[in-house]
């Protein structure tokens, strides 16, 4: 059982707090603009280490919730932090800060690359960046593989569900909805069944440690 | 720049609204579905456009989810970009706000623990599928196959073994690609 069974870590243990929704907007804009190839690490450094708006525990707590909800993790994280300080206005300020400036930059790049791509060097550069993007995602997948080690489903069921999703998408090109709903309900049911078995085993006095 | 009639733009928006609630595990887990929708089903974009959109979003600062408005932009200009971004974020954001307020105190109940444990391996499988789909255009391109596959493997290795920031690898990929080596 996690040490935070008594509920999410409070924001009260943070040394400082943002002065206004506008301060949130500025802070999230600045951290998003530093986030090349991933915002999470920058968010942790800016919000926890440098500005002191969140304790390390509160950051991990909120991120683990953000992770299991649909939607981009860092967007969910921004919204939760903003909401806890200033309600929906804070949530809106944090999300807008996270997305507005990077959105304008990436669209400007997309618009100019259509003209620039006529040059072979630019097409080559984009091809090289595409290969790096593929490598980054594959490395992220390998890193995520390590987090499954502690999964209560055990290695065989994890492999079954993971390979099932991979083959359904990469080989059969099935729509994501079928996979998330079909395999998701299967995985949920299997995990609930495993918890029941583990709980029953833990309840037996001869196994208690 | 491409454009789409209003009816198709609305379809794109509605499709992304439904996708939003399925995007568990982050934006990249929806990439295979985006590929299926834009390239295979609708034919609005080619394989190379798709990989370029992801590469641009990786090269630019900010969350990875910004590859979604780039796809919308490539298919339908600025209205497409706005429809894609708002569509993919609105439902998940409202749901997250609700769940966040409902409280995290139930995270330790059996049903919620089963939910996170059961979904985790599927998410990992989806991210591997994304990597495969991004690498696919290089496998089918004999002129650049070897250089690109070496670059993909090197990037993965450097990411796993060092703390080097991705921006340097992306810059190296751009230079090697511009020089015709990848």
Mark which residues 57-96 of B lie under 8 Å from A by CB: 57-66, 69-70, 73-74, 78, 81, 85, 89, 91-93, 95-96
Looking at residue A86, its pLDDT comes to: 92
Looking at residue A158, its pLDDT comes to: 94
Q: Which residues, 6 or more positions from A183, have their beta carbon under 8 angstroms from its beta carbon?
A: A161, A164, A165, A168, B122
Which one is predicted more confidently, A168 or B112? A168
Quick one: what percent of chain B has pLDDT higher than 70? 94
Looking at residue B107, its pLDDT comes to: 63
- Contact B21/A166, CB-based, under 8 Å? no
Looking at residue B103, its pLDDT comes to: 61
Kindly list the domain boundaries of chain A, sorted by start residue: 11-118, 143-207
Q: What is the mean pLDDT of residues B85-109?
A: 83
Q: What chain B residue is nearest to A178 in terms of C-alpha separation?
A: B22
Q: What chain B residue is nearest to A136 in terms of C-alpha separation?
A: B156
Could you give phi then psi for residue B160, rounded to 5 degrees?
-80, -30
Looking at residue A13, its pLDDT comes to: 67
- Tell me the pLDDT tens digit for each residue of A17-41: 899 999 999 999 988 987 765 677 6
- Tell me the pLDDT tens digit for each residue of A44-97: 778 887 888 988 777 767 776 776 678 888 899 999 999 989 999 999 999 999
Looking at residue B25, its pLDDT comes to: 64
A23 touches B at CB < 8 Å: no
Structure tokens that stand for B93 in this block? 């954001």
Following DSSP, what letter does each residue of A22-82 receive, concatenated?
HHHHHHHHHHHHH-BT-SHHHHIIIIIIIS-SS-HHHHHHHHHHHHHSBS-HHHHHHHHHH
- Tell me the pLDDT tens digit for each residue of B67-81: 999 999 999 999 999
- Tell me the pLDDT tens digit for each residue of B24-47: 766 777 888 889 999 999 999 988
Residue from B46, B67, B96 to probe the interface with A (highest A Cβ count within 10 Å) = B96
- Contact A134/B155, CB-based, under 8 Å? yes
What is the least distance, in Å, from the CA of A136 to any CA of chain B? 6
Which one is predicted more confidently, B8 or A99? A99
What is the least distance, in Å, from the CA of A198 to any CA of chain B? 11
Kindly list the distances between the CA atom of residue B125 and the CA atoms of A37, A103, A144, A183, in Å, as whole numbers in the listed order.
21, 28, 10, 11
Per 3-state DSSP, chain B is made up of helix, strand and coil in percentages (nearest 5) of: 80, 0, 20
Q: What chain A residue is nearest to B82 in terms of C-alpha separation?
A: A103
With the C-alpha atoms ordered B34, A140, A52, B60, is the resulting torsion angle positive or negative? negative
Looking at residue A91, its pLDDT comes to: 95
What is the least distance, in Å, from the CA of B178 to any CA of chain A? 4
Q: For residue A206, name the pLDDT band (cuts at 50, 70, 90).
A: low
- Tell me the pLDDT tens digit for each residue of A102-160: 999 999 988 887 677 678 888 888 788 888 878 887 887 887 787 788 888 999 999 99
- Contact B128/A166, CB-based, under 8 Å? yes
Judged by DSSP in three states, B142 sits in coil
CA atoms within 13 A on the CB side of A142: 15
- Contact A141/B137, CB-based, under 8 Å? no
Looking at residue A9, its pLDDT comes to: 43
A173 touches B at CB < 8 Å: yes
Looking at residue B104, its pLDDT comes to: 55
B120 touches A at CB < 8 Å: yes
First-to-last C-alpha distance (Å) of chain B? 27
Q: What chain B residue is nearest to A193 in terms of C-alpha separation?
A: B114
Q: What is the mean pLDDT of residues A173-194?
A: 86
Looking at residue A34, its pLDDT comes to: 75
């Amino acid at each position: 059982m996690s040490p935070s069974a008594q509920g999410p870590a409070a924001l009260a243990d943070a040394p400082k707090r943002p002065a206004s929704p506008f301060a949130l907007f500025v802070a999230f804009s600045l951290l998003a603009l530093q986030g090349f190839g991933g915002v999470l690490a920058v968010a942790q450094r800016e919000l926890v280490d440098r500005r002191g708006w969140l304790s390390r525990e509160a950051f991990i707590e909120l991120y683990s919730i953000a992770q299991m909800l649909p939607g981009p993790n860092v967007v969910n994280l921004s919204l939760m932090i903003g909401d806890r300080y200033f309600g929906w206005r804070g949530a809106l300020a944090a999300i807008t800060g996270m997305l507005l400036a990077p959105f304008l930059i990436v669209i400007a790049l997309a618009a100019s690359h259509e003209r620039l791509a006529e040059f072979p060097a630019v097409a080559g550069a984009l091809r090289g960046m595409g290969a790096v993007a593929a490598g980054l995602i594959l490395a992220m997948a390998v890193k995520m593989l390590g987090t499954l080690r502690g999964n209560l489903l055990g290695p065989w069921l994890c492999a079954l569900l993971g390979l099932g999703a991979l083959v359904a998408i990469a080989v059969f090109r099935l729509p994501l909805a079928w996979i998330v709903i079909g395999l998701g309900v299967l995985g949920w049911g299997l995990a609930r069944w495993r918890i029941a078995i583990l709980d029953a085993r833990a309840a037996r006095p001869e196994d208690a440690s | 720049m491409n454009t789409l009639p209003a009816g198709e733009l609305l379809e794109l928006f509605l499709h992304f609204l439904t996708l939003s609630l399925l995007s568990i595990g982050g934006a990249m887990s929806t990439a295979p579905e985006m590929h299926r929708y834009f390239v295979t089903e609708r034919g609005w974009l080619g394989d190379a456009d798709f990989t370029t959109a992801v590469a641009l979003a990786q090269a630019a600062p900010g969350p990875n989810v910004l590859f979604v408005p780039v796809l919308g932009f490539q298919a339908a200009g600025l209205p497409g970009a706005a429809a894609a971004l708002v569509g993919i974020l609105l439902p998940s954001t409202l749901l997250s706000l609700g769940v966040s307020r409902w409280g995290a105190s139930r995270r330790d109940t059996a049903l919620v623990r089963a939910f996170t444990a059961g979904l985790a391996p599927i998410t990992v499988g989806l991210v591997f599928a994304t990597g495969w789909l991004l690498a696919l255009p290089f496998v089918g391109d004999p002129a650049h196959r070897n250089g690109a596959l070496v670059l993909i493997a090197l990037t993965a290795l450097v990411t796993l073994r060092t703390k080097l920031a991705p921006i340097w690898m992306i810059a190296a990929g751009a230079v090697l690609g511009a020089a015709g080596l990848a």
